[in-house]
A and B are shown apart, each in its own frame.
Chain A
Amino acid sequence: MTPEGIAQLAILGFVFFMLLNSAAIMVYVERKVAARIQQRMGPTLVGPYGALQPLADIIKLAMKENLRPKSADRILFALAPIISAATAFIAFAVVPFGAETAFFGLLDRPVPLGVADVNVAILWVFAVTSMGVYGIVLAGWSSNSKYSLLGALRSSAQMISYELSYGMALAAVLVLANSMSLREIVDAQAGTWLGFVPRWLVFLQPVGFFVFMTAGVAETNRAPFDFPEAEQELVAGYHTEYSSMSFAMFFMAEYINMVTVSAVATNLYLGGWHGPFLPVWLGWIWFLLKVGFLLFFYVWMRWTLPRYRYDQLMAFGWKFLLPLSVINLLMTAAGVLYFGA
């Protein structure tokens, strides 16, 4: 095996490990931020500043009994959380997070920072996200419980509706960047305009960015669009009947999906790992900062905005967001035709 191959494998392992951890870190951050927004302290007991709280949560979940309702469909009930978690991981496979590096000359050829670089990367993310719906639908159906089924139907209808706006926002970026590879799109955003404005696509595509982030929130079923788990109406939505580690897998999938959406948004609109002050080989620090900012934004929004009603959500998606994204795509295409690429 070549050293480059080993480096690639190491990157793969690192990404997997970090994604696993990101769920734990996000749970902690979410609880702390939520507490601060509500003028509480949040977890303080376990470890310094309660930082070991996620670990305690995981141990607690792992010790619980894995319950399965008597009338549930045995195979599908077990399969659903696996589909959810697996699609969450697979989607991240094509997301690059740093410039090519040779690891301080350890390697003869530089390797890209990212698990895989395929020329249909954006479509890949889109395809895998659309497969994530199955985890939710199957969880709801196989539990054989009304709350679960209603939660699953709501959440999958929501995901499918918002996927359209999501796709249209992506298409506008494709038109501008003239590529489907995330790495090429990021590299198209290097440098600055007029010497101080970074060439990030968010400045060319503010509407697209808004649509993408809104649809992304809906795709990941987060507040203010978190109907699947509207506690007051549906108990816990599609995962009502789940417990122990299978519940943890849904939970993890939700947070990893958030990370993926933020990472893709960073690559598409915020210039990925390009930023001032840092040398190129430290670009991943910029990447982490930008993703971290978007994730904080997610948490902030959840604890600040009230939940929409279900019909409001569907009306918003179909009657406002979708037309807006179509207009944005047409304007972008017209602009590219007029000004040249």
Chain B
Amino acid sequence: MAHNLMLFYAFGAIAVVTSLLVVAQSNPVYSVLLLIGSFVALAGLYVLLAAPFVAVIQIIVYAGAIMVLFLFVVMLLNAPREDAVQSGIIESGAARVLGALLAIALVAELVWAVSRSGAAAVGATGEREHAWSVTEIGQIIFRDYAFAFEATSILILVAMVGAVALAGRHLAEKKS
């Protein structure tokens, strides 16, 4: 299906470009928004990979909740942009060249490693055409991964208490 490959390249390109801009952007508000773009592109890839449930969860939780939290913090802190001096994505010219070379080497190595690995052979084995339904995923979560599921719920509770305690500490200090 050439159709599918084209969609893969389109979503992949969006994801890579937006992620690059997230890292390169000096205004955090734009960074957050570009990251949302990247998440939506990845959600598109998940749909191509027969995982619509994860795609929707990605949008609800990542794009709809976590990123709103980031946006709130960025707006409320109203942090100054990184100044030119200290932002220094990279300061000196030599470091710039070296860094670029290393990055290219890393990506090249990665492409080489992936294409040498047996991953291509996997492609033929178990791929299925129809999407995984929510029922199937739910049964796996609650049967095979029930313990992990309960553990994450405790993790979330701990994180929630911790976040409130950390961010609200000055309120408690004021009161006492």
Q: Which of B33, B64, B75, B134 contacts A127 (CB 8 A)?
A: B64
Q: How far is the CA of A138 from the CA of B67 in the complex (A)?
A: 13
- Given contacts A130-B60, A141-B29, is CB(A180)–CB(B134) below 8 Å? yes
Q: How far is the CA of A57 from the CA of B26 in the complex (A)?
A: 41
Q: Which of A124, A130, A141 contacts B65 (CB 8 A)?
A: A130
Nearest neighbor of B57 in chain A, beta-carbon distance: A123
Q: Which of A73, A120, A127, A160 contacts B68 (CB 8 A)?
A: A160
Q: How far is the CA of A180 from the CA of B131 in the complex (A)?
A: 14
Contact between chains at B60 and A127 (CB < 8 Å): yes
Q: How far is the CA of A180 from the CA of B136 in the complex (A)?
A: 13
Q: How far is the CA of A149 from the CA of B33 in the complex (A)?
A: 17
Contact between chains at A120 and B56 (CB < 8 Å): yes
**Closest chain B CB from A165 CB (angstroms):** 15
A117-130 interface code vs B (CB 8 A; 1 in, 0 out): 01110011011001
B53 partner residues in chain A, CB cutoff 8 A: 120, 123
Contact between chains at B29 and A160 (CB < 8 Å): no
A131-143 interface code vs B (CB 8 A; 1 in, 0 out): 1011001100100
Among A126, A127, A141, A149, residue most surrounded by chain B Cβ atoms (within 10 Å): A127
A152-176 interface code vs B (CB 8 A; 1 in, 0 out): 0100100010000000000000000
A248 partner residues in chain B, CB cutoff 8 A: none
Judge if B36 is at the interface, Cβ distance under 8 Å.
Answer: yes
Contact between chains at A119 and B36 (CB < 8 Å): no
Interface size of B as a range:
10 to 19
Contact between chains at A133 and B52 (CB < 8 Å): no
Nearest neighbor of A132 in chain B, beta-carbon distance: B64
Interface of B, secondary structure class, is helix
Judge if A111 is at the interface, Cβ distance under 8 Å.
Answer: no
Q: How far is the CA of A100 from the CA of B68 in the complex (A)?
A: 39
Judge if A82 is at the interface, Cβ distance under 8 Å.
Answer: no
- Given contacts A120-B52, A131-B59, A134-B36, is CB(A156)–CB(B68) below 8 Å? yes
Interface size of A as a range:
20 to 34
Contact between chains at A119 and B133 (CB < 8 Å): yes
Contact between chains at A127 and B56 (CB < 8 Å): yes
Q: How far is the CA of A131 from the CA of B59 in the complex (A)?
A: 8
Contact between chains at A130 and B134 (CB < 8 Å): no
Q: Which of B129-172 contact A (CB under 8 A)?
A: 131, 133-134
Q: Which of A123, A137, A160 contacts B75 (CB 8 A)?
A: A137
Judge if B14 is at the interface, Cβ distance under 8 Å.
Answer: no
Q: How far is the CA of A141 from the CA of B134 in the complex (A)?
A: 37
Q: How far is the CA of A73 from the CA of B75 in the complex (A)?
A: 13
Contact between chains at B68 and A137 (CB < 8 Å): yes
Contact between chains at B29 and A76 (CB < 8 Å): yes
**Closest chain A CB from B38 CB (angstroms):** 14
A180 partner residues in chain B, CB cutoff 8 A: 134
Contact between chains at B64 and A123 (CB < 8 Å): no
A119 partner residues in chain B, CB cutoff 8 A: 52, 131, 133-134
Q: Which of A291-310 contact B (CB under 8 A)?
A: none
Q: How far is the CA of A64 from the CA of B133 in the complex (A)?
A: 50
Q: How far is the CA of A160 from the CA of B56 in the complex (A)?
A: 17
A118 partner residues in chain B, CB cutoff 8 A: 52
Q: Which of A126, A131, A141 contacts B63 (CB 8 A)?
A: A131
Q: How far is the CA of A160 from the CA of B65 in the complex (A)?
A: 8
Q: How far is the CA of A138 from the CA of B75 in the complex (A)?
A: 10
Judge if B21 is at the interface, Cβ distance under 8 Å.
Answer: no
Q: Which of B29, B59, B68, B75 contacts A149 (CB 8 A)?
A: B75
A86-129 interface code vs B (CB 8 A; 1 in, 0 out): 00000000000000000000000000000000111001101100
Show 15 A/B contacts (Cβ-Cβ < 8 Å), sorted by A.
A73-B29, A76-B33, A120-B56, A123-B56, A126-B60, A127-B56, A127-B59, A130-B59, A130-B60, A131-B63, A133-B64, A134-B71, A138-B33, A149-B75, A180-B134
Q: Given A120-B53, A123-B56, A127-B60, 7 more contacts at CB 8 Å?
A: A73-B29, A119-B52, A124-B56, A127-B64, A133-B64, A134-B36, A137-B68
